[in-house]
């Protein structure tokens, strides 16, 4: 049986878009419930400016709680050298650096050019102690909320600069807007994987704005990708990408990969229960289809009193 690795990003990508502050203990409870459902890798939080994203001001506490769960790999997103230093000081062992191919989106997101972010990335690599891992997130790899479709050669050129020094990392190509279609996903991964054949692993991060999240994940799977980001209940939406709704729902991807016979190690019933809890968070923007389909099926199967 083939295997697939799901990276649950709800505790970071999902929570960061919620306006009302979520109590830290509730965040920890969600992380714990996702772990108990079988997820063994999560983007637990992000070390970012607390004034820009106050929802994630409790990053140190959430990371510590996630690290206490046996066998869980909690990665944390970092956009700058300063935040990487903060994350490493807090004990992070798996960093996820993010930058955008699009100049406009990178300036909106981290207030600098993509070239400046490339230098930040190189500096962070030099900071990382032995045993710390890196995940490289290439946002707007396919499409930009401000400028539209991103030419493949522009994404590949940025990867040339990023992978110049080190390729023993995982690289995620991110559909930040959710506007791309499967053909584009397949062709860009094919080109990137052929050009950078010695990259350790490839991942796909998709949004479901146009209902293409699962279809795009399938296209990436068929291209050879085996690591996929998703968010419980489709929670989220990039605050720096106008119009982008939530990530593809974790339960939708688990349903897809279960159907393909790919083992994720995740219990669908337990996952659906967590998803229902997440939809009750004040201010949460949720999506996905499988959760509601399971609820409807259960209603049909229950006898009428």
- Rounded to 5 degrees, what angle do the CA atoms 52, 54, 55 make? 125
Name the region of 236 (left: φ>0; alpha: ψ -120 to 50; beta: rest). left
238 classed as catalytic: yes
Q: What is the DSSP code string of 188-222?
A: HHHHHHHHTTT-SEEEEEEB-TTS-HHHHHHHHHH
**Secondary structure class of 73 (helix, strand, coil):** strand
Catalytic residue among 144, 174, 238, 299: 238
Cα(208)–Cα(290) distance, integer angstroms:
13
Cα(20)–Cα(88) distance, integer angstroms:
28
Nearest to 97 by CA among 112, 80, 85, 111: 80
* Residues assigned a catalytic role: 238
């Amino acid at each position: 049986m083939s295997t697939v690795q799901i990276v649950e990003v709800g505790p970071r990508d999902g929570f960061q878009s919620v306006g009302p502050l979520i109590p830290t203990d509730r965040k920890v409870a969600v992380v714990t419930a996702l772990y108990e459902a079988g997820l063994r890798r999560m983007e637990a939080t992000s070390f970012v400016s607390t004034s820009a994203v106050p929802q994630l001001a409790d990053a140190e506490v959430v990371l510590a709680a996630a690290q206490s769960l046996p066998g869980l790999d909690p990665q944390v997103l970092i956009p700058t050298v300063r935040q990487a230093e903060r994350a490493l000081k807090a004990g992070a062992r798996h960093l996820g650096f993010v930058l955008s191919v699009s100049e406009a989106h990178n300036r909106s997101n981290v207030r600098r050019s993509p070239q400046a972010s490339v230098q930040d990335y190189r500096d962070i690599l030099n900071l990382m102690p032995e045993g710390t891992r890196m995940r490289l997130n290439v946002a707007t790899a396919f499409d930009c909320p401000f400028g539209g479709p991103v030419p493949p050669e522009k994404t590949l050129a940025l990867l040339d600069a990023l992978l110049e020094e080190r390729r023993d990392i995982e690289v995620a190509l991110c559909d930040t807007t959710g506007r791309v279609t499967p053909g584009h996903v397949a062709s860009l991964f094919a080109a990137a994987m052929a050009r950078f054949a010695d990259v350790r692993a490839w991942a796909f991060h998709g949004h479901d704005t146009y209902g293409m999240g699962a279809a795009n994940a399938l296209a990436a799977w068929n291209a050879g990708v085996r690591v996929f980001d998703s968010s419980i209940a489709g929670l989220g939406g990039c605050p720096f990408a106008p119009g982008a709704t939530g990530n593809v729902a974790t339960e939708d991807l688990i349903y897809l990969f279960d159907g393909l016979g790919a083992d994720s190690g995740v219990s669908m019933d337990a996952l659906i229960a967590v998803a229902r809890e997440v939809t009750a968070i004040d201010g949460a923007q949720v999506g996905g289809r499988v959760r509601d389909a399971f609820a409807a099926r259960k209603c049909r199967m229950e006898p009428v009193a």
